[in-house]
Every structure is written in structure tokens, then in C-alpha cells.
Structure 1
């Protein structure tokens, strides 16, 4: 994948939510400037998406439960 990329999760139902995890803000910035990624963004805007939102957030803590 790309340097600094840690993983991705996606959920699709009535809406699509994709969360990608990165090592640092610098890694995110580098990915945003990646030519393949820029091409994919343009394709998404022209073919698939009517709108999207990007949020950059810091995960302070994570825990989960599964039976």
C-alpha cells in the first residue's frame, strides 16, 4: 500500500463509511499527493459520488467486545 498506512475498515448499508488509519498526519498528506490516489479521487467524483466528507481525527483509545 503506502508508507504510513496502518489499515482500513468499511461499512456499506444505506450509506458507505470507510475509515483508513495512518501513522501520522505527514503520511496522510503524502497519500493525498499520490498520483494514483489523485486519479482515483477524480474518477470517484466523476462516476460514483455525488458528495463525500473527509474527517481527520486522532484515535485516543480503542476497545471492543465480541461474543
Structure 2
């Protein structure tokens, strides 16, 4: 379901990118990046996404948190391959 939602999100207006990581105990974090707050709200209200959210609450999630934040500055390091 997560892969399907990531693919669907990537097709939505305003989508920029997504990062997702999980540990061996099933805990994880997914951050999606959008152009505007309106784009975020549209994704949050997407019918297929709403079904996935309900399914997640019922089946997988013990808890989750939804945060909207604005990047003021982004620094990145990436090691070059030899």
C-alpha cells in the first residue's frame, strides 16, 4: 500500500519528492514535499489516499503524527562514489 501511495502522490499537482525510512521494528517516517499548502491539502483529501489512511489506522498503525513544516534552509551532504 505504501508504494502505491507514493506512486499516486508523485502524480499529484505540486508534488516535489518523498523520503521514507524504517527500522527493523517496523517504526518509520515518511516525509513528502509539496510546492504549496493547497497542494498538501488536496493530497490529504485525495479519495484513494483517504481509503489508505483509514486502512492504516485500522490495520497497521498504533499511532502516527502529521506535521506540516516549511523548510527555511536545507543543507545536504552526499558522498561521491570512487
Q: Scaled by the length of structure 2, what TM-score is found? A: 0.76
1:11 and 2:47 equivalent?
no
Higher-strand-fraction structure: 1
Supply the RMSD in Å over aligned alpha carbons: 1.0
Q: Distance in 2 between matches of 1:63 and 1:52?
A: 27
TM (normalized to structure 1)? 0.92
Gaps of 5+ in 1: none
User: Residues 25-40 of structure 1: matches in 2 within 5 Å?
Assistant: 25-40=37-52
Runs of 4+ in 1 over 3 A off after TM superposition: none
